Structure 1
Amino acid sequence: MTARKPIVMGGIAALLGAGTLAALFPPLRDAGPIAREDAAGFDQARALFASYLATGEAEAHLLRSAGFEAADVPEAPGATLLVEPEGDCAGRGTYWLREAGAPIALTAPHRGSDRHTGALAAALFMETGARGAGWNSAPRRASETCANALDLAREEKHPFTAFASAFAAEHPHGLVVQLHGFDGDRRESLPASEAAMILSDGTSAPSDRLLDLADCLSLAFAPREVLVYPHQTGELGALTNAQGRLLRAEGFGGFVHLEISADMREALVADDALRDKLGECLVGASA
């Protein structure tokens, strides 16, 4: 595995420090052959996350069987970082869990291709006191530099999905927020192309809770446009999202699929006050 290099990104670098950013975000090109989990592997990962969420710790055999090791981050006392062992990156993801805090899980399945989303999840975890965060450790798409890739938002038995399921069981009225990035130039409609954010809960009938969150974000970021699928746009509804589908099947109603434009992502990583507004809306929606 190549050396991990610091990633500097606006105010987030000052919040976390270059060393911590390097630990959180090893180069995606380091991914080796992808680990494809079966039902037993899914259950092992879910048990690991459930243990950390319930007690703040887990037995060593759970870590080993799920393919992770635990580390502390100086900037986040009381939180544990779960990473794949050095030299064994099989795309299981990276997860950050706090012993107590706001009932929010901040996730980013496509950090790298959806630029800044992983850093936003980490920063919001720090700033909101959220209980969990998670993101991919392998690229979304194969390339000449890394042939090992997978799209976590389509993976039903992946640890990333097990993390969402364990969190929902621990916080049945909480939020699992999935951060994505979109390119306005590739949208089919003018409203979507000009939007700063597009929200959905993975259904064609968004809940009052999602609509209230959209109202909060609209007020916070005006005059930037915040749209809700399918009311203001028919794009980016996340109807087939693997985590959203499983959470709904488990009776959990707090899945939030948040698409963010490139310009808005740039602004959020650079402007602490702007990011605070996003965090305040998420915390309010989780109460």
Structure 2
Amino acid sequence: MKLLNRARAIVIATAVAAALPAVAESSGIGKLLRQASRDGVYRHPGEQELRRAEELFARTLKGEPAAKLKEGWGQLNFDLLEISEGKERFMLLREREGHRRGRGFFLVRRGGLPLMLQMPHSFKDEQTRQIGLDMALEGGSMVAAWNTVPRWYDEGGSRVDADLAHIDSSYFTALTSAFLRVVPRGTVAQFHGFEAEKRKNRRVADADVIVSSGTRTATAGVRKSAACLGSKADAKVLVYPTDVRELGGTTNTIGRLMADAGSSRFIHLELSGDFRSALIKKASLRAVMNHCLEEALR
């Protein structure tokens, strides 16, 4: 894979990368995310709790002062922290110590673009946790969300399903519903990883990125982001279902929720292992990825 060998991509990426080298490596937010992802167990939240969470997410996204939000979030056993990274201001939500139930970790940028990054499989889809953190801090997205327990694990001899991309009701669905209320034309980009050696289709195995809408249709946002990535990152990008018939995310709860709400702005990204490693190493490539997702907002 030849990454970033086109002149326009270099101009865009180098300018951003020079200003933001290795942001997340020294970030206090990164440390808090790692802490929040330890020692948790999944417990499914009740309907009433999720309604309260959706309302609090909506108020948080609207930019209410943290002082007015802390009590409500505290009643759900979340800490709300205000954090600055350079000139950027964030509100951060994490489960309190002793109350880690796999509900997630959330970062809200004051004055961000109408874009949410979601990393629902940050344990199993290796490197997506760090990629999402770097991109959230280096780009302009309004929201970023991570899972905080593995999507599945064994407890007491039984398999626990904690997959926030496929559970019908979760803090991810509550956040997405609130996001659509506050930013009706907002885009949600969800990051996943696939293993080339497990794919029987050679074309899929050789791909860097597979982009889909979570439905059987390649939406305008999917086509724009895929074309941008293919051009500016010089990556092998396939679009579901026009180029390939697998890894389309069609069972994804968030994509289905958005489609049911009348939104066609869900972007499901499957990233190969090599491409994920390149994103970890290259701030310039992350800048291109952020740029291409922002292009889909137009």
Please confirm whether the aligned pair reaches a TM-score higher than 0.5, indicating the same fold.
yes
**What residue identity is the alignment partner of 2:39?**
D
Q: Aligned partner of 1:103: which letter?
A: P
Q: Is the 8 A contact 2:79 2:93 kept in 1?
A: yes
2:34 corresponds, among 13, 25, 28, to 25
> Do the aligned partners of 1:106 and 1:177 also contact (CA within 8 Å) in 2?
yes
Residue of structure 2 aligned with 1:175, choices 187, 195, 216: 187
Q: 1:42 aligns with which of 4, 29, 50?
A: 50
**Paired residue type of 1:182:** F
How far residue 27 of structure 1 moved from its aligned partner, in angstroms, is 6.6
Correspondence for 1:233: 244
In structure 2, the partner of 1:275 is 286
Using the TM superposition, give the Cα deviation of residue 14 of structure 1 relative to its aligned residue in structure 2, in angstroms. 3.0
Deviation readout 1:61-87 (Å, 9 max, x if unpaired): 420343311113342642111000022
Shift of 1:211: 1.0
> Alpha-carbon deviation of 1:39?
2.3
Kindly report which structure 2 residues correspond to 1:92-241, keeping only aligned pairs within 5 A, or say none: 92-143=103-154, 150-222=162-234, 224-241=235-252
Q: Which has the higher strand share?
A: 2
The answer as to whether partners of 1:196 and 1:264 remain within 8 angstroms in 2 is: yes
Structure 2 matches for 1:55-70, cutoff 5 A?
55-56=63-64, 57=66, 58-70=68-80
Deviation at 1:268, TM superposition (A): 0.4
Q: Which has the higher contact order (CA 8 A, sep 6+)?
A: 2
Q: When the two structures are superposed, what TM-score results if normalisation uses the length of structure 1?
A: 0.89
Distance 2:96 2:54 in 1: 18
Give the corresponding residue for 1:5.
none
Q: Tell me by how many angstroms 1:208 deviates.
A: 2.3
CA contact (8 A) 1:138 1:148 kept: no
Contact kept in structure 2, 1:99 and 1:131, CA below 8 Å: yes
TM-superposition CA deviations, 1:176-213 (whole Å, max 9, x none): 00000110111121111111000110111111231122
Letter in 1 for 2:30: L
Q: 1:96 to 1:145 in 2, by over 3 A?
A: farther
Partner of 1:73: 83
Deviation at 1:169, TM superposition (A): 1.8
Structure 1 equivalent of residue 10 of structure 2: none
**Distance (whole Å) between structure 2 residues aligned to residue 260 and residue 67 of structure 1:** 34
Q: Secondary structure at the match of 2:62?
A: helix
Quote how far apart the aligned CAs of 1:37 are: 2.0
Distance 1:178-1:145 versus aligned 2 partners, 3 A rule: farther
- Contact 1:82–1:96 under 8 Å retained in 2: yes
Mapped to 2, the partners of 1:61 and 1:236 lie a distance apart of 41
For 1:134 and 1:18, the matched residues in 2 are separated by 16
Provide the residue aligned with 2:261 in structure 1. Answer: 250
Contact 1:103 1:171 in 2 (8 A): yes
Alignment deviations for residues 208-258 of structure 1 (CA, whole Å, 9 cap, x no partner): 231122111110221x21001111111111111111111111112111111
CA contact (8 A) 1:191 1:232 kept: no
**What residue identity is the alignment partner of 1:249?**
D
The one-letter code matched in structure 1 to 2:43 is A
Unaligned runs of 5+ residues in structure 2 are: 1-17
> Could you tell me how far apart the structure 2 residues matched to 1:127 and 1:158 are?
27
In 2, are the aligned partners of 1:179 and 1:259 still within 8 Å (CA)?
A: yes
What is the TM-score normalised by the length of structure 2?
0.86
What is the letter of the counterpart of residue 24 of structure 1? L
